[in-house]
Amino acid sequence: MQEQSKAKTSSKIDVKKIFSRLGPLLALVVLVILVTIMSPTFVSPANLLNLLRQVSINAVIAFGMTFVI
C-alpha cells in the first residue's frame, strides 16, 4: 500500500517548484512579447545587435569577476 502512495506522489508535477525555477525566464519572455507588440522594431536585427553590444560589456566584467572570486 505504501509503494502505491509513493508512486502517486512522485509522478505528481510540482507546479510551484517549476514556477520558482522558471519564473524569471517566463517574465522575460512576457516582457519581450509585450515590448514587441508595442514597438515592432524592437526585434529588428539592428536593435538586437545594439542590445548585444551593450550587454557584452557587463558580460566581460562578470566573466572576469568570476575568475577573481
Do 21 and 49 lie in one domain? The reply is no
pLDDT value at residue 67: 87
**DSSP sequence for 10-28:** HHS--HHHHHHHHHHHHHH
28 and 55: one domain? no
The total domain count for the chain is 2
Beta-carbon contacts of 45 under 8 Å, excluding residues fewer than 6 positions away, are none
> Quick check: 42 and 35 in contact, CB under 8 A?
yes
pLDDT at 30: 94
pTM of the model: 0.55
- Whether residue 51 sits in one domain with residue 28: no
Question: In terms of domains, do 28 and 9 share one?
Answer: yes
Q: Rounded to a whole number, what is the largest CA-CA distance in the chain?
A: 62
In terms of domains, do 9 and 23 share one? Answer: yes
> What distance in Å separates the CA atoms of residue 39 and residue 62, rounded to the nearest whole number?
30
Q: Within this chain, do residues 8 and 30 fall inside the same structural domain, yes or no?
A: yes
10-residue mean pLDDT series, the chain (69 residues):
56 80 91 92 91 94 90
